[in-house]
């Protein structure tokens, strides 16, 4: 992880967008290497928020939480 992230730390990056769906699985390690001063943004989480927003806009959200 250091091989890939240390150049970003050295560049003073303050926000890192995890641009692939599997990166959130590595959030702990990435956060550890990047340090507390770096905000991690999960593209998977942001995508889910967008899907939810679109479903609401079109009245397609489920109100019944039972699995069918």
Where are the chain's structural domains? 2-42
Give this prediction's pTM: 0.68
In this prediction, residue 20 carries a pLDDT of 85
Q: What is the pLDDT along the chain (68 residues), one digit of tens a residue?
A: 899 999 999 999 999 999 887 888 899 999 999 999 999 998 888 888 999 999 999 999 887 777 66
In this prediction, residue 15 carries a pLDDT of 97
Q: How far is CA 66 from CA 6, 22, 27, 29, 52, in A?
A: 46, 28, 31, 36, 18
């Amino acid at each position: 992880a250091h091989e890939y992230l240390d150049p970003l730390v050295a560049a003073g990056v303050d926000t890192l967008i995890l641009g692939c769906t599997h990166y959130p699985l590595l959030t702990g390690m990435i956060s550890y290497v990047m340090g507390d001063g770096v905000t991690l943004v999960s593209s998977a989480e942001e995508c889910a928020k967008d899907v939810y927003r679109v479903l609401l806009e079109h009245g397609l959200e489920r109100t019944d939480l039972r699995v069918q």
